[in-house]
Amino acid sequence: MDHGKARVLAAGPRCPSLGMWASKASISRYSVPTPIRTWAMVNEARGSGGGSSDSEGSKDSSRCSTPGLDPERHERLREKMRRRMESGDKWFSLEFFPPRTAEGAANLISMFDQMAGGGPLFIDVTWHPAGDPGSDKETSSMMIASTAVNYCGLETMLHMTCCQQSPEQITGHLYKAKQLGIKNILALRGDPIGDQWEAEEGGFDHATDLVKHIRGEFGDYFDICVAGYPKGHPEAGSFEEDLRHLKEKVSAGADFIITQLFFEADTFFHFLKACSEIGISCPILPGIFPIQSYSSLRQLVKLSKLEVPQEIKDVIEPIKDNDAAICNYGIELAVSLCQELLASGSVPGLHFYTLNRKMATTSVLKRLGMWTEDPRRPLPWAISAHPKRREEDVRPIFWASRPKSYIYRTQDWNEFPNGRWGNSSSPAFGELKNYYLFYLKSKSPRQELLKMWGEELSSEESVFEVFAHYLSGEPNQYGYKVTCLPWNDEPLAAETNLMKQQLLRVNRLGILTINSQPNVNGRPSSDPIVGWGPSGGYVFQKAYLEFFTSRETVEALLQVLRKYELRVNYHIVDVKGENITNAPELQPNAVTWGIFPGREIIQPTVVDPVSFMFWKDEAFALWIEQWGKLYDEESPSRMIIQYIHDNYFLVNLVDNEFPQDSCLWQVVEDAFELLNRPAGLVREVEAS
């Protein structure tokens, strides 16, 4: 491995103290290399739009191409269904609606992340004509569906209705959906705004017209679903007439059908038989509604114009004021219905109307044995479901805990790394100016964050304790558990527990870790803690440690690191951009890789020196944007966070000797030991 001499990459005024230690470590100093400076200038010129539409804005395409680790990333929804049906593997899908508030949008995205863990084949998002559904508002149907695809990695279907829309408006919405990576549409006429359906001048009156329009304008790009009504549409003249309309929708180009809710399995079986007799052969998914409260049942029945069976009314009426009892009954009813449907052998999957609530649906799925929380991951980081990212399998490690931010900052790339990261002088990261986008901000409200991170800070050491409590899981002095940090809004990764005691010690001493991984040498890909990728493989990791620390600790680290020059690569940078490193210029360092049967080696995470300089802007900004701004501007707490932001350094260390026990903890211990030596002994060490 090429270990160059340590050097300073200057991108701002030098820190005299750090410069002194760099000089003593025989570090040469030079300006930012031309490729990096050009890249930064190009990115700055683009502004918040970030990436480019040409080759400068995407990763170098001259890289090896590797077969996908997860075949479902490359399949259309209808292909996934076909494969599941052929294998007899049952699936489920989930329906959500756009919330009315920005806080509701953030909560819904959090629910997407949680529900994704159970393995839905897809989700769908309803279209509300009164809520500006095609806009860029965070509460719009379009933005919720886009976020599910791009930032939550969920196969997503967007509802589209004819209501109050011209064909031109519908086409515009569909082009936007395509650009955002949405590949599936549920084509509906839509419910009337008033009591009666009013046709839009020049618009469509039937879902069949919408299906034809989508196929005419977009060919086979979208997979199209349509609605089926097991008891017939309430406005249809007869059940038989409604079936003929359904057949027309399928003949026009629909790929599958999701039914309106129903309460008895025989209702669905009768509908299924009638569809078969009329020549409908596409998949038909039953719509399942777990009753969750008396009010939600009444509202849904009113909208769907369905009659609730008397035996269900007889149970619910006496307990209509007890939501918990109704919900428990609804779960039992849904489980029984689903078991009867699945036992018939004619139902390939179940579609759940969730009402944006988690508990009832997950309870039903767990009872059915369909909720499968597989600890194995296709890759070590959260993937996006956007079609243009389906080949992506390499990312810098820095955004490991902020994958949505990485996706946001690379959304304008045309190509994504596949097989290897490649040369670092090419990509342009978009600038992150808005830390409060509903899919990027913390899920915890301000008051909860203050309880976790301290309503009042007294010193830098009180900040150290916040990090320690996050790692330990123990309540802080106010009795609250610290469940997130600005750099990680999620609970600790399982592999962090492998280093928990070492991390606790160094954080309490001022090494404020925001990213780490242990060394791994050939563990099975099925390992529940560090495994990823398909079965039968082996995974490897270099020990990695990323942290903020004080100037004094950096000075000690620079001395200690001289002893590890051939083993440890490091980058040390301040908020102004002065970067001290011994890593080869523009050369990424693979820190995670895997070997799988019949495939080339996959290296999904790298330490990339240029990407690190873009990450450091975000990492430093989070001190102020997510933590400092919780306090009044002139308060002592705000000043402490501001001081850390202005004076601490961001450091990453890589131990390249992955087969051996990590030396990074010893590096840190040696630095602490040096810090605690009397001044005279320190001078002797410097002289030696």
1 band by pLDDT with thresholds 50, 70 and 90: very low
More confident call, 57 vs 368: 368
Residue 205 CA: distances (Å) to CA of 128, 166, 395, 473: 17, 11, 47, 57
Query: What is the rounded distance in angstroms from the CA atom of residue 596 to the CA atom of residue 9?
Result: 38
Please report the pLDDT score of residue 69 as a whole number: 54
DSSP string for 263-313: S-HHHHHHHHHHHHHHT--S-EEEEE-----HHHHHHHHHHHTPPPPHHHH
pLDDT value at position 18? 58
Q: Does the pLDDT of residue 345 top 90, yes or no?
A: yes
Does residue 210 have a pLDDT over 60? yes
Sheet containing 579-581: which strands, arranged edge to edge? 28-31, 7-10, 579-581, 568-573, 649-655, 543-549, 512-517
Segment 237-289, tens digit of pLDDT: 899 999 999 999 999 999 999 999 999 999 999 999 999 999 999 999 999 99
Q: How many CA atoms lie within 13 A of 596 on its CB side?
A: 20
| pLDDT more than 70, % of the chain | 85
Confidence grade of residue 195 (pLDDT, cut at 50, 70, 90):
low
Using 50, 70 and 90 to split pLDDT, how confident is the model at 423? low
- Flag whether pLDDT at 678 surpasses 90: no
Q: What is the pTM of this model?
A: 0.85
> 33 falls in which pLDDT band (50, 70, 90)?
very low
Scanning 88-156, the segments in alpha helix (DSSP H) are 102-116, 141-150
Kindly report, residue by residue over 634-646, the tens digit of the pLDDT. 999 999 999 999 9
**Average pLDDT in the chain:** 86
Report the C-alpha gap between 219 and 222 in whole angstroms: 8
pLDDT for 14 beyond 60: no
Q: What gap in Å lies between CA 162 and CA 547, rounded to an integer?
A: 53
Q: Minimum mean pLDDT among 61-65, 209-213, 278-282: which range?
A: 61-65
Q: Alpha-carbon Rg of the chain, whole angstroms?
A: 28
pLDDT band at 44, cuts 50/70/90?
very low
Predicted local confidence at residue 94, as pLDDT:
98
What are the beta bridge partners of residue 123? 94, 156
Q: Which of the four pLDDT bands, split at 50, 70 and 90, describes residue 599?
A: confident
- Please identify every residue annotated as catalytic: 95
pLDDT of residue 342 exceeding 60, the answer is yes
Query: Worst-scoring range by mean pLDDT, 258-272, 296-310, 380-394, 487-501?
Result: 296-310
Provide the pLDDT confidence category of residue 131 given band limits of 50, 70 and 90: confident
Please check the confidence at residue 583 and state whether its pLDDT lies above 50.
yes
What pLDDT does residue 49 have? Answer: 36
| pLDDT on residue 32 | 31
Does residue 31 have a pLDDT over 50? no
CA–CA separation, 414 and 57 (whole Å): 7
User: 549: which strand partners?
Assistant: 649
Please give the pLDDT value at position 355: 93
At residue 36, the pLDDT reads 30
**Sign of the four-CA dihedral 52, 56, 62, 66:** negative
Task: Summarize pLDDT for 164-192 with one digit per residue, the tens.
Answer: 889 999 999 999 999 999 999 999 988 76
Mean pLDDT computed over 145-149: 96
Place of tokens 């606790």: 504
Rounded Cα distance, 261 and 334, in Å: 11
pLDDT digits (tens, 9 = 90+) for 524-540: 999 999 999 988 999 99
The upper half-sphere exposure of residue 205, i.e. CA atoms within 13 Å in the direction of its Cβ, equals 8
Which ranges of 454-562 would DSSP assign to H, the alpha helix?
Answer: 460-472, 500-508, 551-561
Share of the chain above pLDDT 90, in %: 69
